[in-house]
Structure 1
């Protein structure tokens, strides 16, 4: 069998650049930038008022003037209004642009305004206060968001502020999710006493949607020729195939043979882990990758997070995520010599430490148990007993 570390290394050796595409900036959330976003002008583009109040020339404060005649009122977006004499001021609003004749803003809270005059009622004013100076954040041509990072809400705001209506992002692989087996029926169908509804494919699709990847779905019945035809069609039209179930040694598990007949090279089959021991991974000579997960829901869910999402981030050029560790909040024993991905509930204790509470289910088919957990904790294969307070890496979902 392949170790977890070996499986990860083999998968990460199969990275591919799928190119780039331009998308409307408002639809780019969660995509990966393929270009630097640069400021098209200084930010802020003018000396910007940050408080409602009055605008004055500070030199008059040094002359002892503390009462000012309000010449005009200026809102944000208005053309800047100048002052002509030392004792004049402009009543001004947050976001407005300043005239070159003005260099200091006094807040309403520090004033008394009566009959068109503003009187200073605080003892100290600082030159340049309450002004966001032109170019203070960025100057024209500066990079405001570097490529090879996820587009976040902040980056969408930046794109809008610099006029980037279209963003160049990295293309996502075309993904097909395949389920198989006559025992599986559609969600809307009424199963017999011996059937179950398909769920793994919808789970996979939902997880991928969280990563801005819209995958297609296909169900294949237990038929040798149909299985072969569908697999071969998908190999010609997709970049990645995610299979759930049908890869074991059962008499009606036709997918392994269909993959072999379609010249998909097996890179490994079976990993020293639980859940997900039967995990199969291969590559077609045209570059299409096949992740064949075990059919048990928890196994599919774990393998998707532990392997496929790791590969997806790497193939999109994102930097490796810093591992997160949590401490077991009670002793735990696991007997087989396999790396165990234990379902846990994460919480912070009163000291700020991240704690993992084991939530033991009834095996990899107990998908209902996932609703009570939010992570897997990765327990090493070399040991059987794990003590309270030990820290191990967690995969959050």
Structure 2
């Protein structure tokens, strides 16, 4: 049996970043950049008004009470005009007429005269106006040639906004990891429209993994359900290999029972076993292997929470490495109730999280942590991770936590209930 940290290190030694491909900006959401994005232009690309008002030359400050003749009007989208140093009516986003360098808001002026068509002809300033007031200068947001998004960044809607503003139509992204899922067990009924016969259960591990993989940015090639025989499992592995899977995840048949054929079957297929059995709970029988072509096989125990732990703490780090993402930063919370862990085992416990008035996270471990129970998983916000040497963890201890999905905890924090600061 191998420790969790040692097992993860051994697995990650075989996780390689996948090649890059071009991707249209419109399809880039959730993808990971393979190379830096360099700004092809300045943003803004020209000096423009920050609000509706009047553009003036304020190289020498224009004093309150000064009067100015307005000779034209400039709207957003109009070409730059020559001002001859005179005032212009201007709209938000409009190009500043040449020679003008400040904008006074319309509400801080008094209209003295209008033209026949209703356009302003002469105004009086109510406040002193200095150069640069209410002007957005070219390049004040992004300078041309600047690195605006770095490689390894997961594209979010804010990135799409910036890319669109810069006129970037395509980006280089890391190819999504291709993953095949195999659920083993003759008791599994994969079709929810079919009634169960005695001894059957509806398969849940496969649908969970498909959903979790999609949320983690992987491309799911297939989700097969096979019976408890080595031949059908071997066939499913070979189909996944031929389909080009980078990772194969199977569930069940990996422990020590008479029907636990996975280790021997993988050896027969020429796979290199990286480890089998990890000092952790749940999921101790977990196995990792590498096929001759480099495809990684993660064989998870069939118990639902063993599958969830195996995915979150082994598969997710592999997928991140394949996508060129950095290791997740650790998060910690205050343990609200004492926990007694079994020495020598790394424990993964389902918990809810609250945030106190001082911003500290508090973790409340859910009761009845049996690994077959799925309802507490739905109720949980995070996993609490207690290392092998944790022993007795007193209330108030700081413990490592991880969101059920990578990055999900940050999205949920704004909705967390608040507790009184302790």
Q: Any idea what the Cα deviations from partners look like across 1:208-262, whole Å, max 9, x if unmatched?
A: 2122222121111223322222222223331110111121223333333321211
C-alpha distance 61-119 of structure 1, shift in aligned 2 (>3 A): farther
Q: Could you tell me which residue of structure 2 aligns to residue 24 of structure 1?
A: 24
Give the 3-state SS of the residue equivalent to 1:225 in structure 2.
helix
Q: Could you tell me which residue of structure 1 aligns to residue 249 of structure 2?
A: 242
Q: Could you tell me which residue of structure 2 aligns to residue 217 of structure 1?
A: 223
Give the 3-state SS of the residue equivalent to 1:345 in structure 2.
strand
C-alpha distance 262-92 of structure 1, shift in aligned 2 (>3 A): same
Deviation at 1:373, TM superposition (A): 0.5
Pairwise mapping of residues 314-325 of structure 1 onto structure 2 (< 5 A)? 314-325=321-332
Q: 2:209 aligns with which of 201, 204, 208?
A: 204
Q: Any idea what the Cα deviations from partners look like across 1:107-127, whole Å, max 9, x if unmatched?
A: 122122353245345332221
How far apart are the structure 1 equivalents of 2:312 and 2:122? 63
C-alpha distance 188-113 of structure 1, shift in aligned 2 (>3 A): farther
Matched, 1:270 2:277: yes
Q: Could you tell me which residue of structure 2 aligns to residue 75 of structure 1?
A: 75
Deviation at 1:60, TM superposition (A): 6.8
Worse-superposed segment, 342-351 or 246-255: 246-255
Deviation at 1:139, TM superposition (A): 3.0
Gaps of 5+ in 1: none
Deviation at 1:165, TM superposition (A): 1.2
Q: Could you tell me which residue of structure 1 aligns to residue 407 of structure 2?
A: none
Q: 2:89 aligns with which of 64, 88, 91?
A: 91
Gaps of 5+ in 2: 115-119, 405-422
How far apart are the structure 2 equivalents of 1:362 and 1:154? 39
Matched, 1:133 2:140: no
Deviation at 1:284, TM superposition (A): 1.0
Deviation at 1:62, TM superposition (A): 4.5
Give the 3-state SS of the residue equivalent to 2:219 in structure 1.
coil
Deviation at 1:77, TM superposition (A): 1.0
Q: Any idea what the Cα deviations from partners look like across 1:44-68, whole Å, max 9, x if unmatched?
A: 1100211111111114755887223
Give the 3-state SS of the residue equivalent to 1:205 in structure 2.
helix
Mapped contact 2:228–2:253 kept (Cα < 8 A) = no
Q: Any idea what the Cα deviations from partners look like across 1:254-299, whole Å, max 9, x if unmatched?
A: 3333212111111111111101111110111210100111111111
Worse-superposed segment, 250-259 or 36-45: 250-259
How far apart are the structure 2 equivalents of 1:139 and 1:12? 38
Q: Could you tell me which residue of structure 2 aligns to residue 349 of structure 1?
A: 356
C-alpha distance 258-118 of structure 1, shift in aligned 2 (>3 A): farther
Q: List structure 1 segments (4+ residues) > 6 angstroms apart after TM superposition.
A: none
How far apart are the structure 1 equivalents of 2:365 and 2:376? 11
Worse-superposed segment, 327-336 or 173-182: 327-336
Q: 2:168 aligns with which of 121, 145, 164?
A: 164
Give the 3-state SS of the residue equivalent to 1:163 in structure 2.
coil
Mapped contact 1:231–1:258 kept (Cα < 8 A) = no
Give the 3-state SS of the residue equivalent to 2:161 in structure 1.
helix
Q: Any idea what the Cα deviations from partners look like across 1:305-326, whole Å, max 9, x if unmatched?
A: 1111112212333222220011
Q: 1:177 aligns with which of 178, 181, 187?
A: 181
Q: Could you tell me which residue of structure 2 aligns to residue 375 of structure 1?
A: 382
Give the 3-state SS of the residue equivalent to 1:369 in structure 2.
helix
Q: Could you tell me which residue of structure 2 aligns to residue 332 of structure 1?
A: 339
Give the 3-state SS of the residue equivalent to 1:268 in structure 2.
strand
Mapped contact 2:43–2:139 kept (Cα < 8 A) = yes
Mapped contact 2:58–2:101 kept (Cα < 8 A) = yes
Mapped contact 1:70–1:89 kept (Cα < 8 A) = yes
- TM-score of the superposed pair, with normalisation by structure 1: 0.94
C-alpha distance 62-295 of structure 1, shift in aligned 2 (>3 A): same
Pairwise mapping of residues 1-40 of structure 1 onto structure 2 (< 5 A)? 1-40=1-40
Mapped contact 2:182–2:223 kept (Cα < 8 A) = yes
Deviation at 1:69, TM superposition (A): 3.0
What is the number of residues matched between the two proteins? 395
Q: Could you tell me which residue of structure 2 aligns to residue 228 of structure 1?
A: 234
Q: Any idea what the Cα deviations from partners look like across 1:180-223, whole Å, max 9, x if unmatched?
A: 11111123322234221111111111112122222121111223
Matched, 1:189 2:185: no
- TM-score of the superposed pair, with normalisation by structure 2: 0.88
